[in-house]
Structure 1
Amino acid sequence: MTNRITIREVAKEANVSIATVSKALNGVNVVRPATKERVLAAAQRLHYVPNLMGKQLKNTKTKMLGFYTTSIKGPYFSVLVEAIAREAETHGYAVNVFLSTDKRVVLNSILGGMVDGIIGFEDFLTEQDLAAMEREQIKAVFIDRNIQEKNFGSVVFDSFEKGKAATKYLLSLGHKKIVFVSGIAGVYDSDERLRGYCEALKEAGISWRSDYQLQGFFEEERTRASVQQFLLEQKDLPTAFLAGNDLSAIGTVKAIHETKWRVPDDFSVIGFDGIDLLDYFTPRLTTVKNPIQQQGITAVKHLVELIEENAFGISYVLPGELSINQSTKQVNE
């Protein structure tokens, strides 16, 4: 049994009749604007969503899993979504991908009964949204967000340890001036990799420098522009760059070459993820290989456990592996 918010509760919250709520939510023009506004506000506060699958499906399973994200740009997502879809199929489920920056669209799909469970990406949903999902016993597994609750699990990479390990590797090569190209603030992997970088510098007795942290947003072009501007304006140049993901590492290398420097002769570069695109990029990038496919498979398996076995949510931490290639070298400062 779920604790789904009903139209009756919305009516009580807005201090109107059930009929008025129904008319207001369905756009019937007989409701005064002020009353309609009060009803809509009450529905939003309560996270009320009508059951989109209809009353006849109220007590049945849809055999659909949802995956939501604000963007699927980049090779990481092609591997992840493919892994999710194929693993879901082995368990008898199809996957509905919700691609939207409008949180209400995503919540309506989740709370409206369109899917049996959801795989969520990043911290798109707030704590209040999660509380509404918990109240209605929605099963969910989160990627790039570390959560462990009764109905919620997560699958994340060991980004802190690997951020620290990648930085320590650069330090072992003699690099003391290392720039970190961050992803998106508030995103688990980005924050943890930055934290690992800072911890490694601290242990080496090297102070963190604000001018040595650039913003790349996990995107090749935005990183290229940011690094290029940095190289043209910075007086005290570093000897290495640690990029938040492989796309940012590629953007970093391109910026270096465009400003007439070379990798690794002038600057060493390391990325994260180990995407297939690196097989076609020169120089071959040193990167932390993360098991992206396994992340998708594990997320589906755990979500099916939550749905079918009423299991308790678990936080899975997947290990990465530093793969040393042509974009890093020893320096003597």
Structure 2
Amino acid sequence: MNVTIKEVAKYAGVSPSTVSRVISDSPRISEETKIVVREAMETLGYHPNAIARSLVSKSTYTVGIVMPQSTERAFLNPFFPQALSGVSAAAHEQGYCILLSTGVNEKEQLESIENIVMGGRVDGVIIMYSSVDNEALDTLKKLRVPAVVIGKPLKPQGVLYVDNDNVEASFKVTEELIKNGHEKIAFLSGSFKFVVSLDRLDGYMNALKKYNIPFKKEYILELSDYIKEGAYEVTKELLERKDRPTALVVTDDVMAFGAMDAIKRKGLKIPEDIEIMSFNNVPTAELTSPSLTSVDIDAFNLGYEASKLIIEKIKGEAAKDRVIVPTKIIYRESSK
């Protein structure tokens, strides 16, 4: 038999309305009373009804999640499960749930965002990417819904976001390759419609400039998606050139796996013939042969901090507008 609020109130020696206010974490109730009521709830095994809780607090206790593409396709890249684990962990700590928006293309995604927001199903939204033309963010601004972006927006003023310093991280990776004696360094990236790709390109170019290495446009390779097969094909073509590179900066480990397959199929050795350094440090990076040197961007913490920040914003407690998560290079066999 379910325990009722009245039973909790009687056990704690307070009124039912006080129990309701404790459930909604009202600042009008003292911490001492909250402790007494929560202990009574735990003793009696009382669990607040989510709908009733929402009616009392006028909050859904739910955060919406916007992916860069269809959810099924996004999960093929290990970054998103890792980041979502962080989002979920922080949300759970605060008593919040998460709701994934759906849609196989941008139009359907925007419709999904409008449906969950206008339907009163979420209190705020986390956008799991930052694109040059971020229509999802624009839509949320028009709907006056709190939003946090994972990734630095192209125009960050007035936008809450969580990110790494991708310009600096890419600079360090490219600098490492230059110090290892390379001047022919190619840059293999995901779509430049994402700000993270542009930031990492800036870091790469900054390093070339610092060490007076000529920039070669033909060494810049862009893929529309972060997929292994696409990276294999463009790397295969790159290796056919007379002036082939001796090192690769790759902006995503999944693409790096494809590049490594192409290099090995060509009969070249890693890192002796071509040295590779990548980004994201996905769990399988250490399992490849040779194992992949990669920048650990701490995807879990990116999600965790984004979740904390959006909940703080929902509660009116956000004291900052951005969080920068540190990175570090994890050295393995693909680099010297």
TM-score (normalised: structure 2): 0.75
Q: Give the corresponding residue for 2:298.
A: 291
AA of the residue aligned to 1:307: I
Q: Give the corresponding residue for 2:253.
A: 246
- 1:98 and 1:222 mapped to 2: Cα distance? 27
The CA deviation at 1:131 is: 4.9
CA gap of 1:168–1:125, structure 2 versus 1, over 3 A, is closer
- 1:231 and 1:202 mapped to 2: Cα distance? 24
2:315 to 285, 288, 308: 308
Tell me the SS of whatever aligns to 2:183.
coil
Tell me the SS of whatever aligns to 1:185.
coil
Count of residues in correspondence between the two structures: 273
2:210 to 203, 208, 233: 203
- 2:146 and 2:211 mapped to 1: Cα distance? 43
For the aligned residue pairs, the C-alpha RMSD in angstroms reads 2.3
1:31-68: CA deviation from partner (whole Å, max 9, x where unpaired): xxxxxxxxxxxxxxxxxxxxxx9xx9698211111111
AA of the residue aligned to 1:99: T
Tell me the SS of whatever aligns to 1:174.
coil
Q: In the alignment, does 2:233 pair up with 1:225?
A: yes
The CA deviation at 1:129 is: 5.7
AA of the residue aligned to 1:84: V
CA gap of 1:286–1:126, structure 2 versus 1, over 3 A, is closer
- 2:193 and 2:298 mapped to 1: Cα distance? 22
The CA deviation at 1:183 is: 1.1
Q: Equivalent residues in 2 for 1:69-84 (5 A)?
A: 69=67, 70=69, 71-84=74-87
- 1:143 and 1:90 mapped to 2: Cα distance? 20
Gaps of 5+ in 1: 1-52
- 2:208 and 2:114 mapped to 1: Cα distance? 41
Q: Any conservation in 2 of the 1:183–1:244 contact (CA below 8 Å)?
A: yes
Q: Give the corresponding residue for 2:193.
A: 186
Q: Any conservation in 1 of the 2:146–2:313 contact (CA below 8 Å)?
A: yes
CA gap of 1:261–1:139, structure 2 versus 1, over 3 A, is same
Gaps of 5+ in 2: 1-50
Q: Any conservation in 2 of the 1:306–1:313 contact (CA below 8 Å)?
A: no
Q: Give the corresponding residue for 2:94.
A: 91
The CA deviation at 1:175 is: 0.3
1:257 to 249, 253, 264: 264
Compare 221-230 and 162-171 and name the one that shifted more. 221-230
Tell me the SS of whatever aligns to 1:99.
coil
CA gap of 1:274–1:138, structure 2 versus 1, over 3 A, is same
Q: Give the corresponding residue for 1:65.
A: 63
Q: Any conservation in 2 of the 1:144–1:188 contact (CA below 8 Å)?
A: yes
- 2:226 and 2:139 mapped to 1: Cα distance? 30
Q: In the alignment, does 2:112 pair up with 1:109?
A: no
- 1:107 and 1:89 mapped to 2: Cα distance? 25
Q: Any conservation in 1 of the 2:132–2:194 contact (CA below 8 Å)?
A: no
Q: Give the corresponding residue for 1:212.
A: 219
CA gap of 1:264–1:129, structure 2 versus 1, over 3 A, is closer
- 2:335 and 2:126 mapped to 1: Cα distance? 36
Tell me the SS of whatever aligns to 2:101.
strand
CA gap of 1:131–1:189, structure 2 versus 1, over 3 A, is closer
- 1:124 and 1:218 mapped to 2: Cα distance? 14
Q: Any conservation in 2 of the 1:149–1:313 contact (CA below 8 Å)?
A: no
AA of the residue aligned to 2:87: I
Q: Give the corresponding residue for 1:237.
A: 244
TM-score (normalised: structure 1): 0.76
Q: Give the corresponding residue for 2:43.
A: none
The CA deviation at 1:127 is: 6.3
1:187-215: CA deviation from partner (whole Å, max 9, x where unpaired): 12111111100010011111211110112
1:322 to 322, 329, 333: 329
AA of the residue aligned to 2:63: L
- 1:231 and 1:111 mapped to 2: Cα distance? 51
